[in-house]
Structure 1
Amino acid sequence: SLKCLSLGAVDYLAKPESARAPGAANEFRRELVEKMRALSETKARVPRLAATPAPRAVSPIPTAPLRAGGTKPQCLLIGSSTGGPRAVERVLLDLKPALSRIPVLIVQHMPAMFTAVFADHLQTLLSVPAREAKDGDAVATGTILVAPGGRHMGVVCTGGKATIRLNDGPPENFCRPAVDVLFREAAAVYGASALAVVLTGMGSDGTHGARFLTKAGATVIAQDEATSIVWGMPGSIVKAGLAHEVLPLESIGRSLKGLITGAST
């Protein structure tokens, strides 16, 4: 599936298994219909990784004001769904070598069988430690942790250190893992030192959690409509007035690097 995405596929859907619980067929049907509807309502664009095009103009959309001289980011949070794997790759590739300065927590809407492979793929692509998160994992600088499919990933402070907390709570926004869970818990742990990005994806997952982040003084960046496969999740952030910046995909990594290193972009 990841190879198909690299060749131009914009999304994927695991086929239902005969051993799955009753109602699985209805859930599969709902998800398939939603994906088809979302893709039919937008012009799909596949991000290119080979060359870096000239920066696009930022969309003239009202954004939340960035705090001058804000707190240095201590954790990067990324939420994405439809079209997300390629977008995540692009952002992290553009962010190197600043990846060594910050932990990265990713919630990508994926089935359980996909997330470990996706994490391994990121490690190979980026040459930095990346793995599927486990309950109790330390949130370590220079390490990428991907939320496991089928489980919510949050973060708690234990003994003065940030650690991963996984749970099997009910889906939020029909999603498990949900971006809202990560954002909400990270806001309580990191406050203004959290840095969040919401990339392409259908639905509105992440918006509720972004409210906690902005209230805590954290910075939230949303991908723009022109470069999103589906402008659902980032669009919801923007429409709620929670985005401090609305950027094309090819500009997000550079902006994050400037915020993380303190250098002008």
Structure 2
Amino acid sequence: MSPQPIRVLIVDDSAVIRGLISKSLEQEPEIIVAGTAMNGERALSWMRTNPVDVVILDVEMPVMDGLTALQRIQCDFPDVPVIMASGLTSQGAKTTVKALSLGAVGCVAKPQTASAAESIRVLSRELVMMIKAVAGKRSSTTQTVTPSSSVRTEAPAASPASTPLFKRNIKFYKQPEVLVIGTSTGGPKALAELMPQIPVDFPMPILIVQHMPPGFTEILASHIQKDSGRITVEAKHDQPLESNKTYVAPGGSHMLIGEKNGQKVTLINQAPPEHFCRPSVNPLFRTAAEHYGSATLAVMLTGMGEDGIEGSHEVARVGGTIIAQDEASSVVWGMPAAVVMAGLADKVLPLSEIAAEIKSHCLVRA
């Protein structure tokens, strides 16, 4: 018997946007638009009498706005994931980042192109994959991997393609000099939990790639600074890395680590997307491995797809340390699963235990 299609509720005060989102999904046989609503109040009323698997929620609406509706949905329907649809306005971006930190699983930008066909194509590419990932399909792999069977205990092969599942016995760590973090779907909420647990005087720079469009990452950096008390900025080109700062990759650009006049700096570029992502985790992890070698501490948090897997191979190849978030605590176990299944993770941990593991590494000397 064929599985039931994923039932989606679209909530937006614009009939045009509701129509565009509906059309972007209608060609996908595994998804049906079960209903639409023009504000949060009507959405909640509809959900009380109709089953739904995923809600696509506008940020700015009359009667009941998206942020209020999100909190009500989380209270009344805690198992239903919510994807925020945001216009690229300053206020829309602020509200969206707030919603993501509260537990919305992801966001998509509302169509900005003049062509309806192009808008539908862009929306379809983003939404279909995200809906499938969050609608109870949390693992991107069919193989179950437990922490005890997934950590590495020997040096990885140089070629990523030939790297098997193996274990490495970790006895000696080089004192980390940089912490790099990659995340995507579910990342803002994971960062809101993780970053306050890291001390303000944490003795190394922290660099974060969170998949987000332009205009959102500066606000994300402000949220992280407010939550953690640690100076946090949206990274700029040729910005010196300082031990007491956190750097967030700017939306729409890759963030790398380079050197200038003997000083480690952030490099920002517009190179092609990797795994359909810009920023991608790969350039950050690769250049961290290049410039810090075995003093690299990398963390892969919840996220859809496999972005960062090639960069993780580089971190492992040079002897760096990789921590992956476990399946149970991930919104989508895609990016960390790829690391685990490749045998690259030194530890596979619940989100609640990752900060303690990070801190423990900073106290261990080679």
TM (norm. structure 2) is: 0.65
Provide the C-alpha distance between the structure 1 equivalents of 2:363 and 2:207, rounded to a whole number of angstroms.
18
| Pairs within 5 Å for 1:155-166 | 155-166=257-268
Provide the C-alpha distance between the structure 1 equivalents of 2:196 and 2:97, rounded to a whole number of angstroms.
17
| 1:138 corresponds to 2:233 | no
SS in 1 for 2:147: coil
| 1:72 corresponds to 2:199 | no
Gapped runs of 5+ residues in structure 2?
1-95, 140-145, 153-167
Provide the C-alpha distance between the structure 2 equivalents of 1:24 and 1:102, rounded to a whole number of angstroms.
42
Provide the C-alpha distance between the structure 2 equivalents of 1:100 and 1:258, rounded to a whole number of angstroms.
12
| 1:3 corresponds to 2:103 | no
| 1:28 corresponds to 2:123 | yes
Counterpart among 202, 206, 217 of residue 115 in structure 1: 217
Counterpart among 192, 195, 219 of residue 89 in structure 1: 192
The residue that corresponds to 2:301 in the other structure is: 199
| 1:175 corresponds to 2:281 | no
Provide the C-alpha distance between the structure 2 equivalents of 1:43 and 1:155, rounded to a whole number of angstroms.
32
Q: Is the contact between residue 66 and residue 219 of structure 1 (CA under 8 Å) also seen in structure 2?
A: no
The residue that corresponds to 1:60 in the other structure is: 148
Counterpart among 231, 241, 256 of residue 343 in structure 2: 241
Q: Is the contact between residue 207 and residue 248 of structure 2 (CA under 8 Å) also seen in structure 1?
A: yes
| 1:126 corresponds to 2:228 | yes
| 1:211 corresponds to 2:313 | yes
Gapped runs of 5+ residues in structure 1?
45-57
Seen in structure 2, the aligned counterparts of structure 1 residues 158 and 7 have a Cα distance that, compared at 3 Å, is closer
Provide the C-alpha distance between the structure 2 equivalents of 1:27 and 1:38, rounded to a whole number of angstroms.
17
The residue that corresponds to 2:290 in the other structure is: 188
TM superposition shift of 1:19: 5.8
> Could you give the per-residue CA deviations for residues 40-81 of structure 1, whole angstroms, max 9, x where no partner exists?
14369xxxxxxxxxxxxx733321125322110000000000
SS in 2 for 1:12: strand
> Could you give the per-residue CA deviations for residues 178-213 of structure 1, whole angstroms, max 9, x where no partner exists?
001111111100000010000000000111000111
SS in 1 for 2:107: coil
Q: Is the contact between residue 198 and residue 228 of structure 2 (CA under 8 Å) also seen in structure 1?
A: no
Q: Percent identity?
A: 41
Counterpart among 103, 109, 112 of residue 205 in structure 2: 103
Provide the C-alpha distance between the structure 1 equivalents of 2:299 and 2:343, rounded to a whole number of angstroms.
14
TM superposition shift of 1:157: 1.9
Provide the C-alpha distance between the structure 1 equivalents of 2:177 and 2:320, rounded to a whole number of angstroms.
10
Q: Is the contact between residue 61 and residue 246 of structure 1 (CA under 8 Å) also seen in structure 2?
A: no
Provide the C-alpha distance between the structure 2 equivalents of 1:19 and 1:260, rounded to a whole number of angstroms.
51
Q: Is the contact between residue 207 and residue 246 of structure 2 (CA under 8 Å) also seen in structure 1?
A: yes
| Code of the aligned partner of 1:114 | F
Q: Is the contact between residue 42 and residue 229 of structure 1 (CA under 8 Å) also seen in structure 2?
A: no
Seen in structure 2, the aligned counterparts of structure 1 residues 66 and 142 have a Cα distance that, compared at 3 Å, is farther
TM (norm. structure 1) is: 0.88
> Could you give the per-residue CA deviations for residues 71-120 of structure 1, whole angstroms, max 9, x where no partner exists?
100000000000001111222122224x5311000000001111000001
Seen in structure 2, the aligned counterparts of structure 1 residues 6 and 109 have a Cα distance that, compared at 3 Å, is closer
Provide the C-alpha distance between the structure 2 equivalents of 1:66 and 1:194, rounded to a whole number of angstroms.
17
| Code of the aligned partner of 2:184 | S
The residue that corresponds to 1:17 in the other structure is: 112
Provide the C-alpha distance between the structure 1 equivalents of 2:209 and 2:114, rounded to a whole number of angstroms.
26
Provide the C-alpha distance between the structure 2 equivalents of 1:131 and 1:198, rounded to a whole number of angstroms.
20
The residue that corresponds to 1:50 in the other structure is: none
Root-mean-square deviation (CA, aligned residues, Å) is: 2.0
SS in 1 for 2:358: helix
TM superposition shift of 1:24: 5.2
- Greater relative CO, 1 or 2 (CA 8 Å, sep 6+): 1
